[in-house]
Amino acid sequence: MMPAVYGRAVEDLLLAWFAEHGRDLPWRRTRDPYAILVSEVMSQQTQVERVVPRWRLWLERWPTVEALAAAPAGEAIREWQGLGYNRRALALHRAAQQVAAHGWPDDLTELPGVGRYTADAVACFAFGRSVLPVDVNVRRVSERTGYSFSPAAAQALMDLGKAVCLARIPRCGGCPLAGACPARDRRFEPARRQGPLAGSFRQRRAAALRVVLAGSEPEDAEAVASLARDGLVRIDRDAVSLPE
């Protein structure tokens, strides 16, 4: 095990790198738990560059958790279009309703659609709790270096994993931790990728939902039934519409 003082020195190197190279993301300038929750849910499996403008538009329309909670669920689904995985919009809407009615729970995983990572991210970045949110980038850097980082290094770890400590071929020449990293100059097997969207049932569901959003009746009954089970549409006497 590395001496604690050495671990602190490594973290200092990381934070110095982050001060110069860290991404300037708008949700990093707020401690509002609602705004941070929206950013985390939107960023799941979606490129940050696509999320930034959509996050701003979402908060312009619903600037508070109470505003989102009061909106129809169908409007949240409509606003979500283009971000993928529409169930996230519905879960976010339901979470807003729960918070508006009962406040933020101590255990944030009690909120609909909020798993361990998202709960820890909101706890750390909004509420200042001493917990390190571990996403794929944080886990990769921690495992390769062998160091235990503090919550203060969370955003730096995310950016290092995103820009330098890449999944297959890390850019060790630009890494502030390379000098003592046991994984330096190693190459890694590619991670298992998700199956293609084209021709998948997920694509059929998305197509059926777009038809509903356009005010028409989709013909793909199997996709519609799946959407209805998830609460993304409602079926009333064979008419399909967005939830209220």
Q: Which residues of 132-154 are buried (b: 16+ CB within 10 A; e: fewer)?
A: bbbbebbebbbebbebebebebb
For residue 163 the two structure tokens come to 């820009």
- Amino acid code (one letter) for 133: P
Q: What pTM value is reported for the model?
A: 0.88
Six-digit token string for 28: 């990093």
Contact in structure between 214 and 230 (CB atoms under 8 Å):
no
Give residue limits of the domains in the chain. Answer: 32-125, 201-241
Residue 5 has pLDDT above 60, yes or no: no
Facing residues of 239 across strands? 236
**Looking at 53-57, 114-118, 179-183, which range is the least confident one?**
179-183
Count the Cβ atoms, other than its own, within 10 Å of residue 39: 24
Catalytic residue at 219?
no
The CATH number of 32-125, from 2.120.10.30, 1.10.340.30, 3.40.720.10, 3.40.50.720, is: 1.10.340.30
- pLDDT tens for each residue of 35-64: 999 999 999 989 999 999 999 999 999 999
Q: Which of 11, 40, 143, 217 is catalytic?
A: 40
Tens-digit pLDDT profile for residues 6-23: 467 899 999 999 999 999
191: confidence class by pLDDT, cuts 50, 70, 90: low
Mean pLDDT of 134-146: 95
Beta strands in the chain, from DSSP E residues, in sequence order = 234-236, 239-241
Angle at 37 between CA 54 and CA 200, to 5 degrees: 60
